[in-house]
Copies of this chain bind each other. A is one copy, B any other.
Amino acid sequence: MSVLVVGTTALDSIKTPTAENPRLLGGSASHAAVAASFFAPVKLVGGVGEDFPPKYLALYRRHHIDLAGLQTMPGKTFHWSGEYESNMNNRRTLATELGVIETFSPTLPKAYQSVPFVLLGNIAPALQNHVLNQMTRTRFVVADSMDLWLNIALPDLLKLLKRLDGFVLNDSEAHQLTKTDNVFSALKKIHALGPKYVIIKKGSHGSILSGPKGFFICPAFPLSKVVDPTGAGDSFVGGMMGYLAAAKGPVDVNIRRAMVYGSVVASFCCEGFGLNRTTKTRHGDIKKRVKELEKLTRF
């Protein structure tokens, strides 16, 4: 089955203590769509400006991503620039130019509306709701978000939460949303807002699922060098949704393994700037790291 991915399609200028890379392909939808494409056909919903480099369209196409839902609009592509500290955990936004994304309000192509697996990647929750309104036969809907929307669009986000099967957020966002420091009591409070599956991402510490079958402690793949963590969270949820769309059987049974696959795709994402390393990854590389994670966690 296919995965519909909506989110930002952006240009990222990323600075780390050792390097600087301007105008890379980035955005939540780009990372999630490429990650999902390793497992299942992907339909992308996004908006770019006239300055969007054709080579990035070619990159999507190499991953067999359906671009019927990618609109090119008059104006500039969303551009984010940020800087990482040496521990690669703390990042600082240097500039955000919304460009065409500011007025983006997509009408989905007919063929998109019946896609069963829907990933509402990080973008304004009003837009996530708007996309979801157009879907007719969803089987599993997951959304990601960020602190910005908790701050400036909480009512829209709370409305969205009631409509989701799964919600993915990081630990600091979980604390912000629930006013709870403890991850496990935060999870309970987030379930009460709607989603049956809640996943809290903890970066290099892995992630925690709380679902109908209880908790799952999902490991992160050990990396001794992180080049650029931008998009790792999007790659995680993209890989997970791609795996789920391709797997036989109920979500309940497959979601743990799906998270591990997502975690591995995220590890490749961290090993290069932007999508540089992810796009060079082969399915065999992913399988190999999943096997390694099995060994690394067995006792």
Mark interface residues in A157-201 (1 if CB within 8 Å of B CB, else 0).
Answer: 000000000000000000000000111110010000000000000
Closest to A254 in B: B299
Decide yes or no whether A274 CB sits under 8 A from chain B.
no
A23 interfacial by beta-carbon distance below 8 Å: no
Provide the residues of chain B in CB contact with A183, threshold 8 Å: 204, 222
Given contacts A202-B205, A217-B219, A219-B217, contact A185 B225 (CB under 8 A): yes
Residue interface bits A203-226, CB-to-B below 8 A is 1, else 0 = 011101000001111110011111
Q: Is the CB of B217 within 8 A of A87?
A: no
The residue that A299 contacts in the complex, of B87, B215, B218, B224, with Cβ under 8 A, is B218
Assuming the A-B contacts A202-B205, A257-B299, A299-B256, are A182 and B215 also in contact, with contact meaning beta carbons closer than 8 angstroms in the complex? no
Let me know if A215 and B222 touch, CB within 8 A: yes
A86 proximal to B (CB < 8 A): yes
Check A150 for interface membership: any CB of B closer than 8 A.
no
Q: Is B86 within 8 A of A181, CB to CB?
A: yes
A280-299 CB mask vs B (1 if < 8 Å, else 0) is 00000000000001111111
Q: Cα distance A212–B283 when bound, in Å? A: 29
- B-side contacts of A257, CB under 8 Å: 299
Does B182 contact A296, Cβ atoms closer than 8 Å?
no
* A146 is an interface residue with CB less than 8 A from chain B: no
Whether the Cβ atoms of A299 and B182 lie closer than 8 Å is no
The residue that A214 contacts in the complex, of B182, B218, B296, with Cβ under 8 A, is B296
B181, A88: Cβ atoms under 8 Å? yes
Structural contact, B217 and A181, CB atoms closer than 8 A: no
Q: Is the CB of B296 within 8 A of A217?
A: yes
For the complex, give the distance between the alpha carbons of A225 and B222 in Å.
28
Given contacts A217-B219, A296-B214, A299-B257, contact A87 B181 (CB under 8 A): yes
* Partner of A222 from B184, B218, B297 at Cβ < 8 Å: B184
Q: How far is the CA of A214 from the CA of B224 in the complex (A)?
A: 13
Contact between B297 and A224, CB atoms less than 8 A apart:
no
Report Cα–Cα, A48/B226, bound state, in Å.
47
Q: How far is the CB of A227 from chain B (nearest CB, A)?
A: 11
- Please indicate the chain B residues that have their CB under 8 angstroms from the CB of A219 in the complex: 217, 297
Closest chain B CB from A291 CB (angstroms): 12
Q: How far is the CA of A216 from the CA of B299 in the complex (A)?
A: 9
21 contacts between A and B (CB under 8 A): A87-B181, A88-B182, A182-B223, A182-B225, A182-B226, A183-B222, A184-B222, A185-B225, A188-B224, A202-B205, A205-B205, A208-B222, A214-B295, A214-B296, A215-B222, A216-B296, A216-B297, A217-B293, A217-B297, A260-B299, A297-B297
3 tightest Cβ-Cβ pairs between the two chains A and B: A205-B205, A87-B181, A256-B299
